[in-house]
Copies of this chain bind each other. A is one copy, B any other.
């Protein structure tokens, strides 16, 4: 400590101060990286200047309907400003590494899902009452795929006061016939979209608590599930998820698939076996990889694995069935099954302790089945609670040997668990925008991420449920993190991207290749970021002089 004794001269002081700041940041990935290359240092510096320039310009203006704009603000309100920034444009080109925390059912733009749904005659929609201007905001669409014999040719509008509640109408007809007073076909699309996404008023006004926003959040999955889980749509959906991820600079995806809800075959009737679901998934992945190879772009996508998930409201007996199902799939698709998780609102559903018996048996069950290890990759601490079951899940996730932690929002309160995460190489899947929209934090500035980074915990940034939040890809989440800190710069973002590969479920060989490929693309990106940023800064200075 003596090295930090109170200095008396300015020179002594400056030296001690430098030492102290270094000691305080010594565990950060960007500091551990050590000496930067000329290019890294330049790009990092330029990006910090771009960030400062835009904080003082585009973020300092007043906007209709955005009372308090600032970098890192509430995503749903600030999104329209974010997409206009140079910082966002540049980050869009950054190689992001892997996407380690995303729920497959919520990974693709709603507009894409809607378009897909309209292509298949099996897709029908109904409402619990005839829609009108007063109830359209509260009545949810129920969509489903029907077997041939149940399909209707009914073309009565859902908005017709003669509409008989809960009558199925083919999706296309329902869209065509949607009353013009309610916006016609576009009004229909808006109605569906509103049910599948969270809007600013819901997040920041009407549902402005964790409990209330989770109710809206959960409802979006109920509405979308029948579409997303309809085999022909699911194939397109998975393909689009992978392609849009690649377009955003993501080179590997490890989505969680919820095997509790049914998957329906093309005929609209038969339930797919989980084996068929994985076959479909693998097929799409292989197709995409082949196409990229044909284009000489194989470096852009390493592949995909799946985290088998079910929902934390089932009984321990039911969980045991899912564990066995997961093991059976692992036997058939050893390279596809990456881990096992329980999903759903930790604040209201069952804690991990409720499932201790089956969970403790999982390892043994795997040995008996003779499959290579299936690690737990648990959600944990996605809560504001201090000592609540959701917060306590962190103890159990770690005791049960979780490979990573999903969210770990409350981890910062637990010094011993932070040590364990570092000692055991447990990375945290941090979902900045998800946490903010689900009201764990009011803006990125209140997010505990800097605590994790300064404590030296490994972090992979993730999008969680982009179709509901509107944070497609990873660029938005990287943007929010970069915008809300003066310490975090491009180098730290790069280290998090690397960690998303290092802590993924890829084989060691795959990781090596992935890291090498990432490094190549990173160098190219740094060149681009530096030159693009400088151009912007030059214009910016110009404007300041002229204006």
Interface 1/0 per residue, A135-147 and B, CB below 8 Å: 0000000000000
**Chain B, Cβ-Cβ closest to A205:** B67
Residues of B within 8 A of A400 (CB): 6
Query: B386 and A450: CB pair below 8 A?
Result: yes
Q: Please report the C-alpha to C-alpha distance between residue A23 and residue B386 in the assembled complex, in whole angstroms.
A: 16
Asked if A33 lies at the interface with its beta carbon under 8 angstroms from chain B, I say no
Asked if A27 lies at the interface with its beta carbon under 8 angstroms from chain B, I say yes
Query: B445 and A487: CB pair below 8 A?
Result: no
Asked if A417 lies at the interface with its beta carbon under 8 angstroms from chain B, I say yes
Query: B454 and A24: CB pair below 8 A?
Result: no
Contact of A68 among B13, B209, B440, B441 (CB under 8 A): B209
A407 CB to nearest chain B CB (Å): 15
Query: A24 and B68: CB pair below 8 A?
Result: no
Asked if A543 lies at the interface with its beta carbon under 8 angstroms from chain B, I say no
Q: Please report the C-alpha to C-alpha distance between residue A16 and residue B486 in the assembled complex, in whole angstroms.
A: 40
Asked if A233 lies at the interface with its beta carbon under 8 angstroms from chain B, I say no
Query: B357 and A10: CB pair below 8 A?
Result: yes
Query: B414 and A454: CB pair below 8 A?
Result: yes
Residues of B within 8 A of A27 (CB): 415
Asked if A7 lies at the interface with its beta carbon under 8 angstroms from chain B, I say yes
A8-B363, A17-B396, A420-B4 known; A385+B445 contact, CB < 8 A: yes
Q: Please report the C-alpha to C-alpha distance between residue A289 and residue B424 in the assembled complex, in whole angstroms.
A: 58
Residues of B within 8 A of A442 (CB): 441-442, 446
Q: Which of A271-313 contact B (CB under 8 A)?
A: none
Residues of B within 8 A of A369 (CB): none
Interface 1/0 per residue, A397-441 and B, CB below 8 Å: 011110000000000111111001001100000000000000011
Query: B360 and A484: CB pair below 8 A?
Result: no
Q: List 30 A-B contacts (CB under 8 A).
A: A4-B399, A6-B363, A6-B399, A6-B400, A8-B364, A9-B360, A13-B360, A13-B399, A17-B396, A20-B399, A20-B416, A21-B395, A23-B416, A24-B417, A67-B208, A68-B208, A68-B212, A70-B209, A386-B485, A386-B486, A386-B488, A391-B486, A412-B448, A413-B451, A414-B454, A415-B455, A441-B446, A442-B446, A446-B446, A451-B451
User: Residues on A close to B: CB < 8 A?
Assistant: 1, 4, 6-10, 13, 16-17, 20-21, 23-24, 26-27, 67-68, 70, 206, 208-209, 212, 356-357, 360, 363-364, 384-388, 391, 395-396, 398-401, 412-417, 420, 423-424, 440-443, 445-446, 448, 450-451, 454-455, 484-488
